Amino acid sequence: MPTAPVDCVVVGAGVAGLAAAAELRRLGRSCLLLEAGSRIGGRAWTTHPPALGGAVFDHGASWLHQAEGNPLVSIARAAGDPLRSADGLREWRTYVGSRLADAEELAAYDRAEATLRAALAERAEGAQADVSLAEAAASFAADPWTRTVLAWEGLIAAADPGCLSLRDWHLNSLAGGNLLVEGGLGRFVAARLGAAAGPVRLATPVQRISWQEPGGTVTIGTPHGDITAGSCIVTVSTGVLAGGGIVFAPALPAPVEEAVHALPMGLLTKVALRATGPDRLDLPASCAVDRQVGPGETLMSLHFWPGGADHVVGFVAGATAWDLAREGDAAPAAFCRDTLRTLFGARADRLFAGDAAVVTGWGLDPLTRGSYCYAVPGQAAARSLLAQPLADGRLVFAGEACHSRLGGTVGGAYLSGKAAVGLSCANAPARPGVGCPG
């Protein structure tokens, strides 16, 4: 189907793509938003799985982190969408083996966390070379809680501490409040950001981008035909970019390719199991449970009865999550049941009887190839490098990978999508015809 030339093609209708399209509309530029999948929202996706009795389930993002500076919080407030404080709702339980940690152990855990965080921040801000998070924490190995603190950081970053750039981890470590939007974050993104972005062409995978065409145009190749544009904003994950999901002609400059590979995708898998009886394991609603991590163990944190629902969500990340994902959905679910059994014994087996489980599948999804990216040691600058416009703004990358302070979050993706419009030549004053000046 032939398509009239447009000022800008935006590739991918996740948070970054929706933000970019809305900004282009606001500026009065013509825009086509192309999405390979059958829905908008990308890694922000809410469903109501029958296996959870129809409860709200966010497969990807669920929290609005760093609420004070998060642009999506202002959008929710302006739209009148109710927000709840995740921190205010949440209660914590920590286990040592199969018993609750005592007061002394909890105090030791708090001390270990505060000491380690302060030391890591000091090292990250210093002049020493960037190393991995694990290496930077090596001198704290004797503390029995260090492994647990690091396991949490790996869980949040979706990669093992030995893989993470200390500096990138520090730049993107989230402070401040965490808010939940009623009905799910994915639903909110599709409704609010979707409305602002305008029409989207679904089931339209971009296969090829020729970004240095004569006359200063860009040609975007899809199975439904080529599109000519003045510029192109690409918001797909670094997993899709590294996997060759889109062919660039000419090939991307070597530093850009290197930046893509310096930002590999981590994996965070969620496993949700519904209680089959009235037992609530003596845990309150919205209760976060962790346990002291021993040598060679992987932390699966558990979020019991979110918002009063009758299910638990287990979170596992890094190499273990990748290994489990490759084995199929039954493996992460079995890992979750094992964790529950370790903490609650046969009581958990009775409560979570049956095979029904919801397991997120971001690792093997060809449209994401992971959950979100991290920088490898020594490559903390890769995010800003990837965000630099190419060919005078004809080609700009955006998305969670391209934000250096809120990397891996919906807030970062949104800000990056909006910023990409400013860096794109579609931002130049309106002109007759299509094609960038110069």
CB of 279 to ligand FAD, least distance (A): 27
Is the CB of 22 or the CB of 281 nearer to ligand FAD?
22
| C-alpha radius of gyration, the chain, whole number | 22
Phi, psi values for residue 337, rounded to 5°: -65, -40
Question: Is 205:36 a contact under the CB 8 Å cutoff?
Answer: yes
Using CB under 6 A as the binding rule, whether residue 316 contacts ligand FAD is answered as: no
Q: Using CB under 6 A, which of 399, 415, 423, 427 touches ligand FAD?
A: 399
- Residues binding ligand FAD: what is the number (CB under 6 A)? 42
Interface of this chain with ligand FAD, residues 25 to 54, rule: CB under 6 A: 34-37, 42-44
Question: Is 310:350 a contact under the CB 8 Å cutoff?
Answer: no
Using CB under 6 A as the binding rule, whether residue 371 contacts ligand FAD is answered as: yes
Question: Is 134:150 a contact under the CB 8 Å cutoff?
Answer: yes
Interface of this chain with ligand FAD, residues 325 to 364, rule: CB under 6 A: 360, 362
Which of 91-99, 116-124, 233-241, 351-359 is the region at the interface with ligand FAD (rule: CB under 6 A)? Answer: 233-241
Using CB under 6 A as the binding rule, whether residue 168 contacts ligand FAD is answered as: no
Question: Is 179:90 a contact under the CB 8 Å cutoff?
Answer: no
Q: Using CB under 6 A, which of 236, 259, 316, 386 touches ligand FAD?
A: 236
Q: Using CB under 6 A, which of 10, 61, 75, 134 touches ligand FAD?
A: 61
Using CB under 6 A as the binding rule, whether residue 268 contacts ligand FAD is answered as: yes
Using CB under 6 A as the binding rule, whether residue 15 contacts ligand FAD is answered as: yes
Using CB under 6 A as the binding rule, whether residue 264 contacts ligand FAD is answered as: no
Q: Exposed (0-12), middle (13-18) or buried (19+): which is 162, by Cβ within 10 Å?
A: middle
Q: Which DSSP state fits 250?
A: S
3-class SS at 52? helix
Using CB under 6 A as the binding rule, whether residue 245 contacts ligand FAD is answered as: yes
Looking at the chain, the number of H-run helices and the number of E-run strands are 16, 20
Using CB under 6 A as the binding rule, whether residue 62 contacts ligand FAD is answered as: yes
94: number of Cβ within 10 Å: 17
Is the CB of 116 or the CB of 267 nearer to ligand FAD?
267
Question: Is 70:64 a contact under the CB 8 Å cutoff?
Answer: yes
Using CB under 6 A as the binding rule, whether residue 408 contacts ligand FAD is answered as: yes
Question: Is 216:394 a contact under the CB 8 Å cutoff?
Answer: yes
Overall size of the chain counted in residues: 438
Q: Site residues (CB under 6 A) for ligand FAD? A: 11-17, 34-37, 42-44, 60-63, 65, 205-206, 235-237, 240, 245-246, 268, 270, 360, 362, 367-368, 371-372, 399-400, 408-411, 413
